[in-house]
Chains A and B, each alone.
Chain A
Amino acid sequence: MIDAVSSLSPSVGAPAAVGGVGTAAVRPGAASATVDAGADFGAMVSQLASHAAGVVRNAENISVAGIQGSATVQQVVEAVMSAEQTLQGAVAIRDKVVAAYLELSRMQI
């Protein structure tokens, strides 16, 4: 059972790794973020979170540029929408995996 849950994480962690966002600056405390996906549950969650944080930060930068007039409305909307989707995806996956672990902890021993 545990293997089945853990095997979910490589496929989940892979898209976050593809994004190639600098994770160190976003989450200094999470040194395990550089551990390859699927190593453990905490690393996977922190990788998801840091990738989402990076995308949101990019959206913030472009939004500020848009207010200053150096980015177009379309660029701002595109960046913010991309951040919104990344966040939604990360939250949905986190909820799913956390629910699976909770399910395990409720098992009758």
Chain B
Amino acid sequence: MNAAFWILSAMSLIGALLAISLRNLVHCVLSLILFFLGIAGHYFLLRADFLGAVQILIYIGAVAVLILFAIMLTRNVTGTEGPRELFGLGWWTGLGTALIVAAVVWVTVDSAPQAATRSPGQAVSSVEQIGKSLLNQWVVPLEVLGVLLTAALIGAVVIALEEVVRRR
């Protein structure tokens, strides 16, 4: 348990650090995938295996592949040009953002009631619980998200169509 935790944490941290420090964009995405895998492993360790599988399915199978696809279509992948601004102004902006996010997460986790009470190793059928709460308690946000995603999809199609018409 502990060894797995440390290995996964090291994996995630190394992946995240490599993702922001490497020069080659494709290498960055591959290390980002390492990071996603580490997070999925953490979910499995917490017995949230549904969440872990979904993490792999969506973040590695969809998001990372989408980023890779976008990078394949760009010209300068190796990133040898341009100044190296890792510790410039952007660094301080990033630090501020990270602090704000960390504060919000801290407050949320601290105020959540069940987080501390559930003992580790207690197997719960997370799929059923998630399904039931999605279709009872959270049905309106779910539908709104569905409409939002559909709108985004149609918007993307419209943008792509316009370009085809213009080219002819």
Verify that A and B bind, or say they do not: no
Interface residues of B (CB under 8 A from A): none
Interface residues of A (CB under 8 A from B): none
